[in-house]
Amino acid sequence: MTATLAAAYDAALYARARHEAEPTGALFTAPQRPRTAPLTPEQQRLNLELLQQGISSRHQAAPEDPEPTAVRALTIQPPWSDLIALEDELAKRIENRVWTTRWRGTLLIHGGLTLDKQALSLPAVREALPDDYRPVQGYVVAIADLTGIHADDGECTRWSERGSFHWQLSNVQPLQDPTRATGAQRLWKPSRQLLDAIAAANPTLTGRLAG
């Protein structure tokens, strides 16, 4: 069967059925239409435009999050997440990543479920963590501001790694009552429900989470 412009409105159905047909070798045949007069060039052009519109509409961007928030979250393996949540001079204020982003703003620090056991043997980590350290896994442990990212420029802090992008964290506040959450890869959007739960358990952070 040949799909002509006279049957342009059947073309999409015809192509889909050909693609989805069982591989029996049988050729799908669309229902025969009554014979009609040949289309004029103007009618053919309009039919082609309609087909193109139908194809392009299937590639439109997905609708935006119905509950958008200005806050983002980053899942980090403990003990690195717990080192960020410290408040003393040994606290970690650089997060090392092999990728970068143009986004800046309020960032939740989420402790992942997987513990970096090798990190626990590093002298700098042992010095910073308390002797009775217990990793906080699967919880949001702190809130920070991501204020900048720069490429490897050497050891700008004791926590900087060579060959990584250095994410600069400021205004870090640990959660007095960490909140359970499911993490994700790269930057992820915390739900309004999660932000409300954090604020309810940590009233001093309400203003920062209002966005």
Number of compact structural domains in the chain: 2
Q: Domain check: are 139 and 102 in the same one?
A: yes
Question: What pLDDT score does 14 carry?
Answer: 43
The pLDDT value recorded for residue 35 is 57
Query: Contact 111/136 with Cβ under 8 angstroms?
Result: yes
Q: pTM of the full predicted structure?
A: 0.68
Per DSSP, 30 falls in state: P
Vertex 57: Cα angle to 7 and 102 (nearest 5)? 155
**Within a domain: residue 29?**
yes
Mean pLDDT of the region 142-151: 96
Tokens of 74: 């980053």
pLDDT tens per residue across span 106-141 = 999 999 999 999 999 999 999 999 999 999 999 999
Each residue's pLDDT tens digit, 196-208: 999 999 999 999 9
Residue 62 counted as domain residue? no
Distance of alpha carbon 66 from alpha carbon 136, whole angstroms: 31
Q: What is the DSSP letter of 40?
A: P
One domain, residues 53 and 79: no
Residues 37 and 125 in one domain: no
**Residue 98 shares a structural domain with residue 52:** no
In a domain, 101, yes or no: yes
Q: What is the mean pLDDT of residues 7-12?
A: 47
Residues 41 and 76 occupy one common structural domain: no
**53 and 151, same domain (yes or no):** no
Instruction: Name 68's Cβ contacts closer than 8 Å, sequence gap at least 6.
Output: 189
Residue 14 sits in the same domain as residue 88: no
- Note whether residue 176 is domain-resident: yes
Residue 31 is assigned to a structural domain of this protein: yes
What CATH code is carried by the domain that includes residue 130? 2.30.130.30
Domain-embedded: residue 153: yes
Same domain, residue pair 17 and 91? no
Answer whether residue 97 is part of any domain. yes
In angstroms, what CA-CA distances link 173 with 15, 51, 182?
57, 55, 20
Rounded to whole angstroms, the Cα distance separating 92 from 160 reads: 9
pLDDT at 186 over 50: yes
Q: What is the pLDDT of residues 38-77, one digit of tens each?
A: 667 666 666 666 665 554 444 443 344 445 568 999 999 9
Q: 95 and 42, same structural domain?
A: no
> Based on the domain organization, do 183 and 142 belong to the same domain?
yes
